[in-house]
Structure 1
Amino acid sequence: MTALPGADDDRPLLARSGHDRAHLARLLPDPAAGRPVRVLTVDAAGTVPVQEGPSGPRLIWEERPALPAGAVFLGEADGVPYATVRGERSLTVAGRAVDLWAGLRDLGADLDDLDAGLLAEAIGILEWHERHRFSPLTGAATTVERAGWTRRDPTTGTEFFPRVDPAVIMLVHDGADRVVLGRQAVWPPGRFSILAGFVEPGESAEAAVAREVEEEVGLRVTDVRYVASQPWPFPQSLMLGFVARVDGDQEIRVDPTEIEEARWFTREELRTPDGQLAVPPSISIARHILDRWVNDELS
Structure 2
Amino acid sequence: MIAPGFTGGKLDRADRLRQDPAAVAAAMGDWRARLLLLGPGYEPQVTDDGRLAWTTLADADPQADLVLLGLDQGRPRFAQITNAAGGAPFRSPRLLGALGELVHGEAATYAQARAVLDWHARHRFCAACGSPTAVIRAGWARKCPNCAVEHFPRTDPVVIMIAEYAGRALLGRQGSWPPGRFSALAGFVEPGESIEEAVAREIHEEAGLRVRDVRYVASQPWPFPSQLMIACVAAAEDDALTLDETEIAEAIWVPRDQVRAVLAGGEGPFLPPPAYAIAHTLLSEWAVA
Residue in structure 1 matched with residue 154 of structure 2 by the alignment: 163
Candidates 241, 245, 249, aligned match of 1:260: 249
* Residue number in structure 2 paired with 1:211: 201
- Gap runs ≥5 in structure 1: 1-8, 89-100
Q: Take 2:133 and 2:287, find their aligned partners in 1: how far apart are those partners?
A: 48
Does structure 1 conserve the Cα–Cα contact (< 8 Å) formed by 2:183 and 2:273? Answer: yes
Alignment coverage as a number of residue pairs:
270
Indicate which of 120, 138, 143 corresponds to 2:111.
Answer: 120
Q: Percent identity?
A: 44
Q: Secondary structure at the match of 1:126?
A: helix
Structure 1 residues 109 and 18, CA gap change in structure 2 (3 angstroms):
farther
User: What SS is found at the alignment partner of 2:193?
Assistant: coil
What SS does the corresponding residue of 1:180 show, helix, strand or coil? strand
2:47 corresponds to which residue? 51
Q: Which residue of 2 aligns with 1:139?
A: 130
User: Which stretch of the first structure deviates more once superposed, 131-140 or 192-201?
Assistant: 131-140
Following TM superposition, the consecutive aligned residue runs of length 4 or more in structure 1 with deviations greater than 4 angstroms are 65-69
Q: Secondary structure at the match of 1:62?
A: strand
Distance 1:153 1:144, change over 3 A: same
From 72, 76, 82, give the equivalent of 2:77: 82
CA gap of 1:140–1:229, structure 2 versus 1, over 3 A, is same
Question: Which of 271, 280, 283 is residue 287 of structure 1 equivalent to?
Answer: 280
- Superposition deviation, residue 48 in structure 1: 2.2
Give the corresponding residue for 2:90. none
Q: Which has the higher strand share?
A: 1
One-letter code aligned to 2:140:
W
Q: Which residue pairs with 1:15 in the alignment? A: 7
Alignment TM-score, normalising by the size of structure 2:
0.87
Q: Does 1:106 align with 2:101?
A: no
Cα drift, residue 194 of structure 1: 0.8
Partner of 2:56 in structure 1? 63
More helix by share: 2
Q: Which letter maps to 2:208?
A: G
Is 1:25 the equivalent of 2:17? Answer: yes
CA distance in 1 between counterparts of 2:261 and 2:3 reads: 24
Structure 1 position 116, deviation (Å): 2.0
Query: Per-residue deviation at 1:118?
Result: 1.3
Pairwise mapping of residues 165-204 of structure 1 onto structure 2 (< 5 A)? 165-174=156-165, 176-204=166-194
Using the TM superposition, give the Cα deviation of residue 66 of structure 1 relative to its aligned residue in structure 2, in angstroms: 11
Cα distance in 2 for partners of 1:23, 1:102 equals 33
* CA contact 2:7–2:105 (8 Å) conserved in 1: no
* Mapped contact 2:46–2:102 kept (Cα < 8 A): no
1:64 Cα shift?
Answer: 2.9
Q: Which amino acid aligns with 1:179?
A: A
Determine which of 34, 39, 44 is the counterpart of 1:38.
34
Question: What's the offset of the Cα at 1:112?
Answer: 3.1
User: In 2, are the aligned partners of 1:44 and 1:86 still within 8 Å (CA)?
Assistant: no
Contact conserved, 1:41 with 1:86, CA < 8 A, in 2?
A: no
CA distance in 2 between partners of 1:113 and 1:130 (Å): 27
